[in-house]
Structure 1
């Protein structure tokens, strides 16, 4: 029988957060009762705004602390809006990662051992320091400003705690979890730096196939014991796919996905999307591939297809080669064309287009109608 374990770390955050929320809600309703809806509605609006401002401050904390540690700016995302540097100038793109409210990516300084503590702590520290400043200022101002400042402080305290207490929730690791892994594992620190360097070159338009070969000569017995090593290992089959070796890529994707530890859910779904693309182009049947299309994967695809070209690419190939549905393939093609100009990593788009064109050739060879592309 399957053994269930108690998620103590999640409970350590969720239970205090629920109690804090209940106590805060009671306090605010009691304090605002004499003033009625005139203060209640602005307070609710302030609560929503506070979380957005704290999310910006969180990513800003990573940015400032990373720059102080010698990192170089790559991208700054809040929600799906991403500010990044391309061709020497700042541009705005759209990108969404399920389970995250934002992300700040920086290119590490040269060297095998890179600083990581301040970079990972920066976001949570920014939340906690801004919460402390808001709480102290609240006692110096007349009503109703203390109410709004305390709401802002509560949002900062919550986000700071949720990000600094080591947790992996909804398939995504938080800053505290990452810091814990990096502190105890030299392997994780090396692959952490490698992952960021690969992203930096992708953002500059250099595909995986043209990146330094030594980055991909990892030990054969290296296992994805942590999300950073898993991310670095995932570049290996992605590079094979980029080079046109679909059989090698398919085998490498399956090997990586068969490892029970190390991969976060979101990494597993992303790898499965690429595995499905390779397998479909190699002629695998719908029945063979159906077990890969789990409800969790379909939910991931639904959440990312508007922002991630590889998701639309896989759905295009699935509609064309597995379902043999030209109309559905056309919809996925249009979705790809819609999200591609906003994608922050243009170096990957060439591979996506080549795979889709190969899918069209395969479909034409099977002799059924093609979508008017």
Structure 2
């Protein structure tokens, strides 16, 4: 909470400094006029700034794409909020269930070669550089305009400047954190490159069971447990186990994840809480499941995940609450048909789990 407050305070301070520097440079001296403006401008400018966020998210991901291409990377997918372009079938998809924490993503496969020699800095920092250049261009242009129009340019330069800082200063798994982690050790870089390679295979709808076992060797190697990049491999291994309806293996993976990693610091913490509740319900750990349910209801982000996943809610209603009617209702909200013909894509694994739960009500 304290870090978030300091971060917000620093962004506000930067905004005031940029505006103050611009006004001083333009020779503005009537500071009383700053408070005399049409109140209707506030909602108009607020709406404009909000909409500009999507433009700068696109430019951020385009920066990753440009600098990635220059480094030899190959495009896998390009996503801005609910819209995703897939290079596999050259089509644009509307994502009904986009991650609540994913604003955009330019996923690219690294060039082939020795992990120790592959480039990564330009690809990781491409988005930051795109936002920084956009912000600098808008801010610099303001000095060549008359005061009122220039002030608007200063105002709209704040969004890309803030976005550049938010992605550069290490936090969670943003660009700055990934760069710092990849620069720390060869083990971390190997995890990052393997993650990109495996994400490419998943995007190409390679069955989870066919993903190379070598990618999951890091789960048993203590050298890799020191990096937050191993968290992704736990999650993929968990989904792979669910695809085989191997719930014992899935449960053991979550238990190992929580034992070896600081789970609450992971970007996959919401997924872990949800799926561990699912496993608790399946294995009769009723009190543990109910405790997580209380935690979910008290946390806005977790609650959004909860509402979006009828399968986990149905498992909780059936195994923990013994509420048959609610279970049937929730299962009726699940996927009715597979999204494609591949047997073990994420969508079809979810469908298989729904069918498994529905089998309890079949004669």
TM-score class, shorter-chain normalisation, is 0.7 to 0.9
Q: TM-score, normalised by structure 1?
A: 0.80
Does 1:187 find its partner at 2:187?
Answer: yes
Does the CA-based 8 Å contact 1:82-1:95 persist in structure 2? no
Name the structure 1 match of 2:357. Answer: 359
Q: 1:161 aligns with which of 165, 174, 193?
A: 165
Quick one: distance in 2 between partners of 1:164 and 1:184? 16
Contact 1:76 1:84 in 2 (8 A): yes
2:123 matched to 1:115? no
- How far residue 147 of structure 1 moved from its aligned partner, in angstroms, is 2.6
Quote the offset at 1:247 in angstroms. Answer: 1.0
Instruction: Give CA deviations for 1:269-299 in whole Å, capped at 9, x if unaligned.
Output: 2134333334434x42422432343524864
Cα displacement string for residues 302-343 of structure 1 (whole angstroms, at most 9, x for unaligned residues) = 323576xxx33222222233223244334433443399869x
- CA RMSD in angstroms comes to 3.4
Question: Does the CA-based 8 Å contact 1:83-1:93 persist in structure 2?
Answer: no
State the 1:199 CA deviation: 1.8
| Deviation for aligned residue 1:129 | 0.3
Q: 1 CA distance for matches of 2:113 and 2:277?
A: 36
**2:269 maps to what in 1?**
268
Query: How has the CA–CA distance of structure 1 residues 280 and 7 changed in structure 2, closer, same or farther, with 3 Å as cutoff?
Result: same
Partner Cα separation in structure 2 for residue 40 and residue 248 of structure 1: 55
Q: 1:163-178 to 2 correspondence within 5 Å? A: 163-168=167-172, 173-178=173-178
Q: Which residue of 1 aligns with 2:61?
A: 59
1:234 aligns to what? 235
* 1:349 alignment partner, one of 342, 347, 350: 347
Q: Is 1:146 matched up with 2:144?
A: no
Which residue matches 2:335? 337
Q: Residue 370 of structure 1 aligns with which residue?
A: none
TM-score (norm 2): 0.82
Structure 1 residue aligned with 2:295: 295
Contact 1:55 1:102 in 2 (8 A): yes
Higher mean C-alpha deviation, range 12-21 or range 203-212: 12-21
Indicate if the aligned counterparts of 2:338 and 2:348 stay in contact, CA closer than 8 A: no
Q: 1:18 aligned to 2:12?
A: yes
How many pairs were matched up? Answer: 349
Distance 1:347 1:30, change over 3 A: farther
- 1:340/1:244 CA distance change after superposition, 3 Å: closer
Partner of 1:254: 255
Matches within 5 A, 1:128-143: 128-142=132-146
Of the structure 1 ranges 268-277 and 101-110, higher mean CA displacement relative to structure 2 is found in: 268-277
What is the distance in 1 between the residues matched to 2:307 and 2:284? 26
**Once the two structures are superposed, what CA deviation does each residue of 1:48-86 show, in whole Å capped at 9, x if it has no partner?**
233222222112111211222222222222233333234
Give the aligned partner of residue 71 of structure 1: 73
Rounded to whole Å, the distance in 1 between the matches of 2:103 and 2:275 is 24
Secondary structure of 1:336's counterpart equals: coil
Q: Which runs of 5+ in 1 are unaligned?
A: 1-5, 366-373
**Structure 1 runs of 4+ with >4 Å offset:** 21-35, 37-41, 338-342
**Whole-angstrom distance in 2 between the partners of 1:300 and 1:30:** 42
Query: Secondary structure of the equivalent of 2:94?
Result: strand
Offset of residue 256 of structure 1? 1.0
Residue in 2 aligned with 1:317? 315
- 1:177–1:288 distance in 2 versus 1, CA, 3 Å: closer
Q: Which has the higher contact order (CA 8 A, sep 6+)?
A: 1
Matches within 5 A, 1:280-291: 280-281=281-282, 283-291=283-291
Instruction: Kindly state the Cα deviation for residue 231 of structure 1 after the two structures are TM-superposed.
Output: 1.1
